[in-house]
Each structure stands twice: as C-alpha cells, then as structure tokens.
Amino acid sequence: MKHIKTLNKANLKKTATTGGCGECQASCQSACKTSCTVANQKCEK
Amino acid sequence: MIHKYKLNGYNIVLDVHSGAIHIVDDTFYEILDVITDEKGNLKYTDLNECENEVLKHFEGKVSKEDILEVFGEVKELIENDVLYSKDDYEQYANMMVASPIKAMCLHVAHDCNLRCKYCFASTGDFGKGRKLLDAETGKKAIDFLLKYSKGRRNLELDFFGGEPLMNFDVVKEVVEYARSKEKEYNKVFRFTMTTNGVLLDDEKIEYLNKEMSNIVLSLDGRKEINDQIRPAVNGKGSYDIIVPKYQKLVKQRGVNEGDYDQYYVRGTFTKHNLDFSKDVMHLNELGFDQISVEPVVSPEYEDYAITEKELPRIFEEYEKLAVDMINLKKQGKGFNFFHFMIDLEQGPCAIKRLRGCGCGNEYVAVTPDGDVYPCHQFVGMEDWKMGSVNDLSVDFEKKDYFAKSNVYGKEDCKNCWAKFYCSGGCNANSLQYAGDVLKSHKISCELEKKRLECAIMIKAAMAEEE
C-alpha cells in the first residue's frame, strides 16, 4: 500500500473470544486512582 | 466506526472496533472526509456508490486514475475489516457481569502528615475522624479477599490512606499474614503502596522495595508548584523532605528485576499549573523515568478546579508534552508518562477493556473500621457502604449494580471512539460530577481523548524512526 501505513496487527476482535480471564491488574490499582486508563495494562496470559 | 485526526503533521485513523491504527496520506484522509458520517461510520452501504461520490468530489482536482488507486486501498482495508469494522462486541456483554473481588484498596491510616489543598479525603480522614487500621481488622481484610476472590489467583492490595506509612507496623503485619496464606489458598498477593514519602527512611525503603510490586510516590513537580499545594501540617512545603528519599528509593529499586521494579512518581496538576509539562520534565530531570501527572478532579467552585474553560490550554500542553517526549525518545532519553502509555499489540483483551474500572465489583476499598466501599473515592459516603470485613459481608445488590456499569451499560460510552482505552471512565467521578455512575464526566472524557490522541501520535512518530 502506497498511501497508508498500519501501525499494528489489529487483533482486538480476536481477544474478545480468547480473553476475559480476569487475572490482570484492576485498572485503578496502577498509578492513577482518579481516572481510568486501561490501554496501558498488561495481559497476564 | 473510525476516529480520524491530524496531529503534529500526522493524519491518524483509528478503526475503533478492530483496534487498527493507520497513518494515511492527505488524499486518503480527504477521501475519508467524503465517505464518513458525523458518528464515524461509513455513509454508504454500497461501495460502488461510495466510489462515485469520491470521484465526484475530486473531479477536476485530482486525476481519476490517481483517485481510483487511493480508493482501491480504502476498499482493501474495508474488505479486510480494519476500516469501518463492525461493532459486534455487544454479544460479549454477558461476560461483563459479576466478578470475584480480587483487588482491594486498604486504608491503613485515615490520617495524614500533609495538608494537600485538593485532597479528596478531607486531609486524610475522609470526613470521619482520624483513625488507624488495627492489625486484626487488616487480617480480616485479607480473609475477605481470600474468600471473595474465588478462583482468581492474582490478588492485589494497595496500602492507601491518608498516609499509609503512618501505620507501617500494621502494613508489615498484614503483608506477613497474607504471605502466610498464599500457598494454602493458591494465591499470589501483589502489594502496592501509595505514599507521600514524608516518613520514608532506610528501613522502610528496603522493606517496600522488597514487598511492593509497585510504589506510587506523590510529588507534583517543580518545588514552587508542589510546596504551594502540598504543605505539611506546619504549613511548610514537602518538596525538600521527600525528593531525596524518592531518589534513594528509586535508585535502590532499580536493582530489582521483573515484577518488583515498578514505581511511579505521581503528581496532580491544577488550574494553577496549566504549564504542567514543565512539571513532568522537572520530575524526569530529578532522575525519575516512570511518571504520572494527572488533572485534579474537584467541584468547579474550588479555585484550583479544572473546568471546561481550561480544556483548550490543557490540550495544547498535552500536545507540547508529547512532542517534547518524542524528541527525548529520539535522543535515547525517553521516559514513561503513564497517560501516554498505550500497548497497541499485547494490551488487555477486549473484555477487560469493556468491563469498566471494576469498582464495587472486582475492586473494593476497606476503611480502618473494616467497612467496605466500592472504591477509595466512595469512602465516607454512607449510602454506598457495601459490606464489612468484620463479618465478611457483601451487599450483592450493590455489587451487581456496579457490575452493570460496563461500557455497554453506559449510553454515552458505547458509541464513543475511546471506549476501548478508558473502559468507561471513573465511576466515582461520574457519580460525583455527573450524578450517576452510568453517565460520563465530560471533562474527564475530553482529557482522556486528548491524551489518547497524543499517545497514538507518539507511536506514529516512533514507528517512522524504525
């Protein structure tokens, strides 16, 4: 493709079927305690 | 649905439901202008009709051949389900229900040795009188977590306050008790602490670096900024007391590996320091490379409050910070800024992203009296009390209420482009400032969206380097 560059593999939909184990960190426990940011969390799998 | 924007010379397109991020040229971007409606969806169901509209738009400006080449790439992305991909997540809403309780904010001290002017905990006592947690209640909190975490293996416990180091002996007793139960219950406790650092000494630093998987160290940035809003009880500033201690802790922590090397120096910015990128840079100059500086959340009448009026200035500052960080990264001097951290490949699964912050469902706060609240921000609001560790009770009606506060339970969120990155925002903020946990706190939303745009742009800039 000459007119676009895709930065990632875009596998979000796939993770909906394989995810949900609930073992990862509660988002509020990370650093903020006043907001909610989830995209910087790590998957435990 | 897509979200497209221009920032720092990049044309960025986020395909919301696949998570794909594309950097596109000007013609591609203009085509998207033509074929996208105001909600970010494709205007046309028929791609031939779509093509005709695009050709009409560019007629006389760009050759048909050139436009068809670019449009061919648009079509290819659509066919590969990475542009205007469908929202088929609602079918997973049944996975976003009641969860075991596996994370706890343990208020070991409802007392504090600082008098921060923006404190949501009323200078540490949450409006309920100064009190320390006793070891017996602390151990019951662990029993509570062991009981209600059911099959979850990884348990999190944040020592919080007030100021938790005012009750350090109890912290140690609770940790020892929890560790003694790990094997029997097949659990792993991850302890963290949020501290103002005043009481740190060599013994505590060594202990915390050994036992805490993450330490959040409060400091607002430049000395004059920090000391104006984070004075000690005697009115004097806290900067000179805490900075050397934090530097020592972080230096010693640097030798840890894996799960126990995490820390954040965490500040709050207010209307009084809208040039907060200088505070972030100052923290980095002090030698810290894990930094979080966040907007104050408060009623609008406070003199330091951030209101809608401040948003354009804050947006500008976030953009400045992002550009400054890119320049440092390119020189090999990069650092982490919590709200610009985004994992585009191995981040959390879609279920986690849609499940919400977890408060009152998988995450609770426990007071020195042993009362259970949905989270630390709810503590002191009597109506929201939802149990006690003393009799191991839980109000399951309230728990279910919070379980439903996932992204698809919130009208404002389910059609928002940022839903996979903020998880529906902070329920406590929504309740306090929007009147309902199922509504959204607009100022927080706008700030979050700007931070995400910057975070993605940083990725684009760094990808160009590779």
Give how far Cα B152 sits from Cα of A18, B93, B143, B187, B293, Å: 17, 20, 14, 8, 31
Find the helix packing angle between B442-465 and B427-434, rounded to 10°: 140
Pairing of strands B363-366, B372-373: antiparallel
What is the value of pTM for the model shown?
0.95
Which candidate from A3, A6, A36 shows the least CB-CB separation from B82? A6
Beta bridge partners of B36: B42
Q: Nearest C-alpha of chain A: how many angstroms from B145?
A: 14
Q: What stretches of chain A show up as alpha helix (H) in DSSP?
A: 12-18
Q: Nearest C-alpha of chain A: how many angstroms from B203?
A: 24
B367–chain A Cβ distance below 8 A for any pair: no
Q: In which element (H, E) is residue B159 found?
A: strand B154-160
Statement: residue A36 has pLDDT above 80: no
Pairing of strands B393-394, B387-388: antiparallel
First to last CA, chain A: 33
Q: Nearest C-alpha of chain B: how many angstroms from A17?
A: 9
Q: What stretches of B215-336 show up as alpha helix (H) in DSSP?
A: 223-229, 239-253, 277-285, 311-330
> How open is the CA angle B354-B356-B357, to the nearest 5 degrees?
145
Q: Nearest C-alpha of chain A: how many angstroms from B351?
A: 5
Residue type, B156: E
Handedness of CA B285, B286, B289, B293 (dihedral sign): negative
pLDDT at B423: 87
Which tokens in the block code for residue B31? 């085509």
Which candidate from B24, B353, B363 shows the least CB-CB separation from A4? B24
By the 10 Å C-beta count (0-12 exposed, 13-18 middle, 19+ buried), B150 is classed as: exposed
pLDDT per residue as tens, chain B (466 positions): 999 999 999 999 999 999 999 999 999 999 999 999 999 999 999 999 999 999 999 999 999 999 999 999 999 999 999 999 999 888 887 766 788 999 999 999 999 999 999 998 888 888 888 999 999 999 999 999 999 999 999 999 999 999 999 999 999 999 999 999 999 999 999 999 999 999 999 999 999 999 999 999 999 999 999 999 999 999 999 999 999 999 999 999 987 766 678 899 999 999 999 999 999 999 999 999 999 999 999 999 999 999 999 999 999 999 999 999 999 999 999 999 999 999 888 788 988 888 888 899 999 999 999 999 999 999 989 999 999 999 999 999 999 999 888 888 888 898 999 999 988 888 888 988 888 988 999 999 999 999 999 999 999 999 987 7
Name the strands in the sheet holding B2-7, side by side, starting at the edge strand that comes first in the sequence. A4-6, B21-24, B10-15, B2-7
Task: Sort out which chain B residues have CB atoms less than 8 A from A41's CB and list them.
Answer: 343, 347-348, 352
By the 10 Å C-beta count (0-12 exposed, 13-18 middle, 19+ buried), B299 is classed as: exposed
The interface pTM score, or ipTM, of the predicted complex is: 0.93
Average pLDDT in chain B: 94
> Residues near B249 by Cβ (< 8 Å), separated by ≥ 6?
B197, B200, B205, B208, B209, B215, B217, B263
CB interface of B with A, residues 150-189, below 8 Å: 152-154, 156, 158, 160
Interface of A with B (CB under 8 A): 1-13, 15-16, 18-20, 22-44
First to last CA, chain B: 29
Beta bridge partners of B337: B291
Beta bridge partners of B231: B237
Which residue, among B349, B335, B298, B293, has the nearest Cα to B317 in the 3D structure? B293
> Residues near B268 by Cβ (< 8 Å), separated by ≥ 6?
A34, B118, B220, B229, B293, B294, B295, B296
pLDDT at B258: 67
- Cβ atoms of B412 and B421 closer than 8 Å: no
Residue type, B76: E
CA B247: distance to chain centroid? 24
Statement: residue A11 has pLDDT above 90: no
- Cβ atoms of B214 and A30 closer than 8 Å: yes
By the 10 Å C-beta count (0-12 exposed, 13-18 middle, 19+ buried), B182 is classed as: middle
Beta carbons of A40 and B343 less than 8 Å apart: yes
B77–chain A Cβ distance below 8 A for any pair: yes
- Cβ atoms of B194 and B178 closer than 8 Å: no
Task: Sort out which chain A residues have CB atoms less than 8 A from B27's CB and list them.
Answer: 3
> Residues near B39 by Cβ (< 8 Å), separated by ≥ 6?
B1, B415
Number of A–B residue contacts, CB under 8 Å: 210
Task: Sort out which chain B residues have CB atoms less than 8 A from A7's CB and list them.
Answer: 21-23, 344, 459-460, 463
Task: Sort out which chain B residues have CB atoms less than 8 A from A8's CB and list them.
Answer: 19-21, 344-345
Which residue, among B295, B294, B285, B296, has the nearest Cα to B335 in the 3D structure? B285
